[in-house]
């Protein structure tokens, strides 16, 4: 039988999950549970094939009459579940957070039952209840048969970049801390009810770590080895972490679980990366690798640098499932062909922001097997205004059939370059997102883009720059730093916004967002495309 609760309390979610995980070891009657932080709390229960309640045995006292019938909001709130095990176990019914106290007052068991079409073994019907009030979560297990015990708790999907964080959701930091505390506590003094052997639970999580939390998380990962709570990290994000600490964490992760490694603000350089990359390459199911500040500039070669770069390339050739590669702020001038040629399969997402790309880099990419598979491309910070413009247009042409997300922030694209690129840009008919912030475009250029993009029916978001018309006394061509820091004439910009809005309305595209807010619109994650 399947049942689960998802809570949305941002301030106390760490306590919520820690409480719940320690209770799970006593053997609740679930097969799969999800604990995704959302804006509403959801209590999910199985739906009986015939719609009638199934007697639950072994409960601590009879259920009060008020709890024997599900509220109308529950009966009408059927939700799906992506997990195939969950979909077989039972239907999901959503209960709004406001109605939780009435539905579960007194820790009463919710109506128990079987899923429609499922084998009707009533003697195995169990129950599970979660209460989310403030920062408290209680998970009540049953003495259900072992084959109905919880096996997997999925707490992944808590993506949090620290920008516009929703106060009603649980962040990756909260989740990481909660899971770590629970694993350590379980290893140091976890107990189970007499007669109930602890049933191993696989806890799937996305982990975020920095210098301050490293020791704590390392201890948690060590504690989960051989523990009833087995941590299975899906996405690892390490920020400002020394090389040796990064290696130590990678050595503790399950090679069969990890799909993404994201190393941010670590400034590893080629030397540090050559130490870390073999530990990353052992994750054969890795689909996303995000590295930054890898200095491989051929303009300043050195013997050590060349050796490290060759070793890095050799290790990159070990990945068999890699689909996303991000090398932001890495000096790859004239080296892109060497990097991409080592990969065993084509990429679908490639981020090369501020990589000082040369025309030959873009030309190689346009002719490579990667171009025709790209869904996401980020060339921010690369100057596309001169000799790079033509090979860039060739790259767009090659990727036109598949490209969904294109980021060109601070690429020195003025009206002349934009207008020359529009014919090929508008062939990207599946494009959903276009980022042009920080480019010296005028109002006339933006209007031309808006008119021509009418053929792009899938386009939903355009992040555009403040038009150069709205600045006073700009040097020409204006450096990106000036565009980002100079004052805007607010009255002029208000008129620009109004005119763009009217043009969108007139073309029947009021649903398309044109904005200058680069922080409020997080870039689409590859796995969500």
Contact 211, 241 (CB under 8 A): yes
Average pLDDT, the chain: 74
pLDDT of residue 17: 41
* CATH class in words for 370-528: alpha beta
Tell me, letter by letter, the H, E, C secondary structure of 489-510.
Answer: CHHHHHHHHHHHHHHHHHCCCC
φ/ψ bin of 20: left (φ > 0), alpha (ψ from -120 to 50), beta (otherwise)? alpha
pLDDT of residue 185: 74
Poorest-confidence range of 186-190, 225-229, 449-453? 186-190
Give the model's pLDDT for residue 66.
33
The answer on pLDDT for 15 being more than 50 is: no
Q: Bigger pLDDT: 416 or 129? A: 416
| In 45-141, beta strands by DSSP E | 78-79, 92-93, 129-133, 136-140
**What secondary structure does DSSP assign to 144-167, as a single string?**
--GGGS--EEE-------SSS--T
Report the percentage of the chain scoring pLDDT > 70.
64
Q: Report how far residue 49's alpha carbon sits from residue 120's, in angstroms, rounded to the nearest whole number.
A: 9
User: Which has the closest alpha carbon to 382: 416, 408, 360, 363?
Assistant: 408
Measured over the CA atoms of residue 199, residue 177, residue 7 and residue 169, the dihedral's sign is: negative
pLDDT given for residue 338 in this prediction:
96
pLDDT of amino acid 112 = 30
Whole-model pTM: value is 0.75
Average pLDDT over residues 220-237: 89
What is the reported pLDDT for 172?
A: 66
CA–CA separation, 293 vs 127, rounded Å? 51
CA–chain centroid gap for 79, Å, is 22
Distance (Å) of CA 147 to CA 34, 89, 91, 202? 19, 12, 19, 15
Domains of the chain, by residue range, sit at: 370-528
By the 8 A CB rule, do 47 and 100 touch?
no
Of the two residues 120 and 178, the one the predictor is more confident about is 178
Among candidates 206, 208, 220, 205, which has minimal Cα distance to 162?
Answer: 208
Rounded to whole angstroms, the Cα distance separating 347 from 325 reads 7
What are 284-318's pLDDT values in tens digits? Answer: 999 999 998 766 444 455 667 789 899 999 999 99
pLDDT of residue 144: 53
Instruction: Output the pLDDT for position 519.
Output: 81
Q: How far is Cα 483 from Cα 437, in angstroms, rounded to an integer? A: 9
Helix axes 490-506, 443-452, angle to 10 degrees: 20
Helix, strand, coil proportions of the chain in percent (round to 5)?
35, 15, 50
E strand spans, 95-216: 129-133, 136-140, 152-154, 201-209
């Amino acid at each position: 039988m399947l049942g689960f609760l998802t809570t949305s309390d941002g301030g106390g979610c760490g306590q919520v999950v820690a409480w719940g995980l320690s209770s799970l070891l006593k053997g609740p009657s679930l097969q799969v549970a999800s604990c995704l932080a959302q804006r509403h709390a959801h209590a999910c229960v199985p739906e009986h094939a015939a719609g009638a309640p199934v007697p639950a045995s072994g409960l601590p006292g009879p259920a009060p009459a008020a709890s024997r019938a599900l509220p109308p909001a529950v009966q009408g709130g059927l939700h799906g579940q992506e997990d195939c095990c969950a979909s077989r176990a039972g239907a999901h019914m959503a209960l709004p957070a406001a109605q939780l106290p009435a539905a579960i007052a007194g820790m009463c068991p919710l109506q128990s039952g079987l899923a429609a079409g499922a084998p009707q073994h009533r003697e195995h019907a169990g129950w599970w209840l979660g209460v989310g009030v403030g920062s408290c979560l209680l998970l009540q297990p049953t003495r259900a048969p072992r084959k109905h015990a919880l096996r997997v708790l999925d707490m992944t999907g808590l993506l949090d970049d620290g920008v516009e964080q929703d106060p009603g959701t649980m962040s990756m930091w909260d989740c990481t801390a909660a899971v770590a505390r629970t694993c350590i506590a379980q290893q140091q003094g976890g107990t189970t009810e007499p007669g109930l052997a602890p049933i191993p639970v696989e806890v799937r999580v996305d982990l975020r770590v920095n210098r301050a939390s490293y020791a704590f998380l390392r201890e948690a990962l060590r504690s989960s080895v051989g523990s009833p709570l087995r941590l299975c990290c899906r996405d690892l994000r390490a920020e400002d972490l020394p090389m040796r600490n990064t290696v130590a964490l990678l050595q503790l992760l399950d090679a069969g679980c990890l799909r993404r490694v994201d190393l941010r603000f670590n400034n590893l350089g080629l030397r540090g990366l050559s130490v870390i990359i073999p530990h990353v390459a052992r994750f054969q199911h890795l689909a996303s690798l995000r590295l930054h500040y890898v200095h491989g500039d051929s303009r300043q070669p050195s013997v050590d640098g060349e050796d490290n770069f060759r070793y890095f390339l050799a290790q990159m050739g070990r990945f068999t499932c890699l689909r996303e590669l991000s090398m932001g702020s890495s000096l790859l001038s004239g080296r892109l062909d060497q990097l991409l040629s080592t990969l065993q399969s084509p990429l679908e997402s490639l981020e090369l922001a501020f990589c000082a790309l040369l025309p030959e880099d873009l030309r190689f990419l346009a002719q490579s097997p990667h171009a025709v598979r790209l869904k996401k491309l980020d060339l921010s910070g690369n100057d596309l205004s001169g000799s790079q413009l033509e090979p860039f247009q060739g790259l767009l042409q090659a990727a036109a059939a598949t490209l969904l997300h294109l980021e060109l922030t601070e690429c020195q694209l003025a009206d002349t370059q934009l207008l020359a690129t529009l014919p090929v840009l508008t062939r990207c008919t599946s494009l959903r997102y276009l980022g042009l912030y920080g480019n010296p475009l005028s109002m006339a250029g933006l209007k031309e883009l808006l008119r021509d993009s009418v053929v792009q029916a899938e386009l939903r978001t355009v992040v555009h720059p403040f038009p150069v018309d709205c600045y006073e006394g700009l040097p020409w061509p204006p450096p990106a730093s000036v565009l980002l820091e100079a004052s805007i004439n607010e009255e002029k910009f208000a008129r620009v916004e109004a005119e763009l809005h009217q043009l969108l309305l007139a073309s029947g595209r009021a649903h398309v967002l044109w904005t200058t807010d680069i922080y409020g619109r997080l870039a689409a994650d590859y796995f969500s495309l």
